[in-house]
Homo-oligomer: A and B are copies of this chain.
Amino acid sequence: MKPDALRGHLDALLLATLDGRQLHGYAIIEELQQGSGGALDLPTGTVYPALRRLERAGHVTSDWSTVGGRKRRTYKLTQAGQRALLAERSAWREFTTVIDGVLGGGGKWAQT
């Protein structure tokens, strides 16, 4: 998959990954990798700043913990984040519906 097709949809992926659980950045990356069958291999330089953005936006909060001597910053959704996730999901549905319409039936075939 071309790397920046994600543009504008990364937040949705992160919020969805954090839905109902607490994860740290590194774990989120692995989770997305596995959950997509290897199709999503997000670099840390993409994910960490994105999580900070989400935190600044109030959609997630973070806490530090130490596991096996290593520091982790674990994130979880806020209530605003939950709401944002719902919004992202419906925006995604609308988006795919529109594009599907053009790509599949918006052209010359359209037989209404």
Among B8, B16, B40, B106, contact of A5 (Cβ-Cβ < 8 Å): B8
The minimal Cβ–Cβ distance linking A36 to chain B, given in whole angstroms, is 5
Segment touching B, from A45-53, A68-76, A87-95 = A87-95
**Number of A interface residues, CB 8 Å?**
39
The answer on a CB contact under 8 Å between B12 and A106 is: no
Q: Are B16 and A103 in contact (CB-based, < 8 A)?
A: yes
Asked if A101 is an interface residue, CB under 8 A from chain B, the answer is yes
A101 surroundings in chain B (CB, below 8 A): 35-37
A residues near B, CB below 8 A? 1-2, 4-9, 12-13, 16-17, 19-21, 31-32, 35-37, 39-40, 88-89, 91-92, 94-96, 98-103, 106-108, 110
Q: List 20 A-B residue pairs with CB atoms under 8 Å apart, sorted by A's residue number.
A: A2-B8, A2-B91, A4-B8, A5-B8, A5-B91, A6-B8, A7-B7, A9-B99, A12-B103, A16-B103, A17-B102, A20-B107, A21-B108, A31-B106, A32-B106, A36-B98, A37-B98, A39-B94, A40-B98, A92-B103
